[in-house]
Amino acid sequence: MTENTKNTSIWDAGGFGDEDLTELALQENAILNVRKLVGEISEMKGRPLTACVRSFGCQMNARDSEKLSGVLLRCGYLLTDDEDADLVIFNTCTVRDTANTRVYGRLGQIHHFKKSRKDMIVCICGCMPQAEGAAEEIHRRFPFIDIIFGTHNLFRFATLLYEKLSGGGAGKNGTVIEIWKDTQQIVEGLPVRREYPWKSGVNISFGCNNFCTYCIVPYVRGRERSRSPREIIHEIERLSEDGVIEIMLLGQNVNSYGNDIPGGMRFPELLARAAEVPGIERVRFMTSHPKDLSDELIDVMAGSPKIADHLHLPVQSGSSRVLHVMNRRYTKEDYLALVERIRAKMPDISLTTDIIVGFPGETESDFLETLDLVRRVRYDSAFTFLYSVRSGTLAADMPDQIPHEIAQERFDRLLTEVQQIANETIARHVGKTMTALAESTDPKEPGMLSGRLGNNIMIHFPGPADRIGTMVPVRILKQHGFYYTGEIAE
Ligand code: SAH
Ligand code: SF4
Ligand code: F3S
C-alpha cells in the first residue's frame, strides 16, 4: 500500500444516528481542536506529523483500527506503516495470553523509539486494557504510554487525544486513562479510512451474550448490541458508491443479530438485503455460532450467488461433555446434523472452524471425539488453539487444568490431522473455474496476481496489475497445500 492510497480514501460511515448526533458533534469538535494543535506543531517542526495504527486482533479489531485511522487523518496526521512515528496506537486483543505477549513485545521497541523522541505519543486501546484491572497494570508496567482507553469509548479517541495534546491527563506522567465499564451507545457517522479500496468489513453487531466459559470477549466487548438494518444497508450503499465490491458482515455471533431489537430484522433477511445492494459482488460474514444457525439462513445462502460459498462454523470441541462445560449449547450430534443440513443444500460449500485443545478436564477420550468430528466433517481449514486461561472467566477457576505437555501433544496430533484432511478436501476444486477477487501482485514474481476465491482459499495466477480490486474468473490448475495456482479463464 503506498503512502498516497493510505491517505486519500476517507469518508463517513452511516449517518442516520440521530440519537448520537450530540456525541458525533462533540467528536467532530474535538477533531477540529486536535487539527489546530497538530497544524501548529507541524509548522514548528517544518514537516507533517505522522501516525501509525497497529491492529493485533480479529476483523472487528481491524475495523475499529480503520475508524482510529479515519480520525487521525481528519486530525491532520499523515498515516504511515512505520512505528517510529509521532503518534503510535496499538489496538489490542486479549483473547489468548499470546495476544497480550505480542503487544508487550512491541511496547519494548516503542519505548526505545520514545527515548529519542520525547514528544512521541503512544496510545494503547482495545480489548486488552478493557479487561478488569488491566489498564492500571499497563500504566504501572509501561508508564511512558500517553493514552490508555478501552473498547466501549473508542469513539472518544479525538477527545482523549485533545486532552493529551492540550496539557496531559490526570494519571502519573500525564497519562490519559479512560476505561468505561460498559455502554449501550453505538455512535454512527465517525470518519473511517479503509485499508483496501475494494473490500470492507461492516459491523452489524457489537459485543456478545454467549459467555462461553473459556472466553473473555463478553467481558471486554460488553453485551450484544445490534446496529439498525437501515444504518447497515446505508453504509453498504455508501461503500459500494465508493468502489467496494466485497463486504464482510461482522459480529461475534451474526446469527443472533437483531435479537435485542424486538420485532426487528433477523440475520437471514439482512444478509439477503446486503447481497442485493447494487455494485456489491460478494458478501461474506463472520462469525456463526452453530446454536443459532437457522434453516432460513441456509436457504438464503444457497439462493444467492453473491453470498460467498463459505461458512466459518466454530465447533471448539467434538466432545458433547466438554461442549456442555464450555456452555456452547449444542452437542456433537447437533453439530454434525447441522453440517448435514448445510451440505444437503450446498454440497460444495467450504466449511472452516475453530477448535480449542486442552480445555480444563479434557480427557484423552474427549480429545478423540474431537479428532473423530474433524474426520467426519472434513474441514477446508481449521484454526486450532491451545486453551489459554483468561482471568475472570468461569473456566479459569475450573479444576483439572490440563498440563501444557499433554495439551501440546494433542494439539500437534490435531494439527497433523486437520492439515492432511484440508489438503485432500481442497483438491476437489482443481480443474474448476471459479471467481477470485484479485488483491495484490507478488513482489517476488512480477506479473503474478494473488486473489481470494469465494471459499476463502488463495490463488496465484498470471495477470495484469490493473485487475487488482476486481473479480476475475480463474481456472484452478494446481493445488499447493493450502493455496492454488491457476490462470485467467476468459
Ligand atoms: N465469536 C467467535 C469467536 C471469537 S474468538 C465465535 O464464537 O466463534 C475466536 C476464537 O478464539 C474462538 O472461536 C475460540 O476458538 C478461540 N478462543 C477464545 N477464547 C479462547 C481461550 N481462552 N483459549 C484458547 N482459544 C480461545
Ligand atoms: Fe466468545 Fe463464545 Fe461469544 Fe464467541 S460466542 S465471542 S467464543 S463467548
Ligand atoms: Fe481479540 Fe477483542 Fe477480537 S479480544 S478476538 S480483538 S473482540
Q: How would residue 12 be classed by pLDDT, with cut points 50, 70 and 90?
A: very low
Q: If you take atom 20 of ligand 1, which residue's CA is the nearest one?
A: 215
Q: How would residue 4 be classed by pLDDT, with cut points 50, 70 and 90?
A: very low
Task: Check whether 9 has a pLDDT greater than 50.
Answer: no
Q: Which CATH architecture has domain 430-488?
A: Beta Barrel (2.40)
The domains of the chain are located at: 10-178, 196-308, 310-428, 430-488
**Helices 267-276 and 295-303: angle between axes, nearest 10 degrees:** 10
**Mean pLDDT of all residues in 136-147:** 95
Q: Which ligand is nearest to the CA of 316?
A: 1
Give the pLDDT score at 445: 86
Place of cell 486488552: 128
Percent of the chain residues topping a pLDDT of 90: 89
Interstrand relation of 205-206 and 225-226 (parallel, antiparallel or unpaired): antiparallel
Place of cell 484432511: 421
Q: If you take atom 2 of ligand 2, which residue's CA is the nearest one?
A: 212
C-alpha cell at 349: 460449500
**Mean pLDDT of all residues in 456-485:** 96
Task: Check whether 346 has a pLDDT greater than 70.
Answer: yes
Task: Check whether 7 has a pLDDT greater than 70.
Answer: no
Pocket lining: 258 vs ligand 3, CB cutoff 6 Å: no
CA–CA distance, 384 with 422 (Å, rounded to integer): 13
SS (H, E, C) the chain: CCHHHHHHCCEECCCCCHHHHHHHHHHHHHHHHHHHHHHHHHHHHCCCCEEEEEECCCHHHHHHHHHHHHHHHHCCCEECCCCCCCEEEEEECCCCHHHHHHHHHHHHHHHHHHHHCCCCEEEEEEHHHHCCCHHHHHHHHCCCCCEEECCCCHHHHHHHHHHHHCCCCCCHHHCEEECCCCCCCCCCCCEECCCCCCEEEEECEECCCCCCCCCCHHHHHCCCEECCHHHHHHHHHHHHHCCCCEEEEECCCHHHCCCCCCCCCCHHHHHHHHHHCCCCCEEEEECCCHHHCCHHHHHHHHHCCCECCEEECCCECCCHHHHHHCCCCCCHHHHHHHHHHHHHHCCCCEEEEEEEECCCCCCHHHHHHHHHHHHHHCCCEEEEEECCCCCCCHHHHCCCCCCHHHHHHHHHHHHHHHHHHHHHHHHHHCCCEEEEEEEEEECCEEEEEEEEECCCCEEEEECCHHHCCCEEEEEEEEEECCEEEEEECC
**Mean pLDDT of all residues in 478-485:** 95
Q: How would residue 16 be classed by pLDDT, with cut points 50, 70 and 90?
A: very low
Q: Do domains 196-308 and 310-428 have the same CATH topology?
A: yes
Residue 69 dihedral angles phi and psi, to the nearest 5°: -65, -40
Task: Check whether 395 has a pLDDT greater than 90.
Answer: yes
Q: How far is the CA of 99 from the centre of ligand 3 (A)?
A: 9
Give the pLDDT score at 370: 98
- pLDDT tens for 113-140 read 999 988 999 999 999 999 999 999 999 9
Task: Check whether 329 has a pLDDT greater than 90.
Answer: yes
Give the pLDDT score at 171: 62
Task: Check whether 345 has a pLDDT greater than 60.
Answer: yes
The CATH number for 310-428, chosen from 3.40.50.12780, 3.40.50.620, 3.30.750.200, 3.30.420.40, is: 3.30.750.200
Q: If you take atom 24 of ligand 1, which residue's CA is the nearest one?
A: 387
Interstrand relation of 381-386 and 50-55 (parallel, antiparallel or unpaired): unpaired
pTM of the model: 0.94
Give the pLDDT score at 13: 42
| Ligand 1 nearest atom to the CA of residue 312, by list position | 8
Percent of the chain residues topping a pLDDT of 70: 94
Give the Å distances, CA to CA, from 122 to 39, 139, 144, 147, 234: 19, 12, 8, 7, 34
CA–CA distance, 436 with 463 (Å, rounded to integer): 12
Topology classification of domain 196-308: Transcription Regulator spoIIAA (3.30.750)
| Ligand 3 nearest atom to the CA of residue 92, by list position | 6
| Ligand 2 nearest atom to the CA of residue 218, by list position | 8
| Ligand 3 nearest atom to the CA of residue 57, by list position | 6
Pocket lining: 208 vs ligand 2, CB cutoff 6 Å: yes
Give the pLDDT score at 8: 38
Phi-psi region of 394 (alpha: psi -120 to 50; beta: other; left: phi over 0): alpha
Name residues whose C-beta falls within 8 Å of residue 239's C-beta, 6 or more positions apart in sequence. Answer: 200, 202, 247, 280
Topology classification of domain 10-178: Rossmann fold (3.40.50)
- pLDDT tens for 396-415 read 999 999 999 999 999 999 99
Task: Check whether 46 has a pLDDT greater than 70.
Answer: yes
Give the pLDDT score at 170: 61
C-alpha cell at 28: 467532530
